[in-house]
Amino acid sequence: MLSKAVTRGVFIALIAGGALAHSGVMDATVMARMETMVAMQKQMKLLGQMSKGVTQFDPDTAQTALERIETLANETPETFEVPAEDPMSEARPLIWDEFSAFSQEAEALETLGATLVIESKADLAPAVRQLGQTCKSCHSKYRE
Ligand code: HEC
């Protein structure tokens, strides 16, 4: 029992570590774009936990997370520009066949991040849902 819990703790620590979770990734460009995505995930988790009441609602923290997502979305086309490959990558080659359509998915997220306003706790759930749909829209086309 105990060892299982410990193992799980280590696993979570690795995921949270980001870079460590990708120790199998050899290509630096692929690593960099994965890190961008992991950073997105981190902000989404922060918003999600606040929405569920796991953490206390703080409008400034929420707004900062939103701005961070906006910036990361802005950086996404650039991080994916080079069609780098790695056995660990989940990026579909379609990205580079239609790079401008791919970039538009990132722009949609950037625009949403800039548009959403989180003033009260009640704003969180719809914001997280809308953001999540935008992530999913890109993933469903361009991620394996
Ligand atoms: C413009 C397209 C696009 C958008 C928008 C996007 N992603 Fe991604 N995401 C990808 C692609 C492509 C990959 C696969 C990258 C690879 O493995 O090389 C990926 C991978 C990931 C990964 C896995 C990273 C890893 O550990 O390997 C996570 C987590 C992730 N995205 C979270 C998010 C979240 C959360 C959002 C929204 C806030 C988001 N993404 C928005 C395209 C996108």
How much distance in Å is there from the Cα of 28 to the middle of ligand 1?
A: 16
| Atom 39, ligand 1: residue with shortest CA distance | 135
What pLDDT is stored for residue 21 in this prediction?
56
| 108, 134 Cβ separation under 8 angstroms | yes
How much distance in Å is there from the Cα of 136 to the middle of ligand 1?
A: 9
Amino acid of residue 62: A
The CATH number of 27-142 is 1.20.120.10
Q: Work out the number of other CB atoms within 10 angstroms of the CB of residue 80.
A: 23
pLDDT tens readout for residues 110-127: 999 999 999 999 999 999
Q: What is the pTM of this model?
A: 0.88
What pLDDT is stored for residue 69 in this prediction?
98
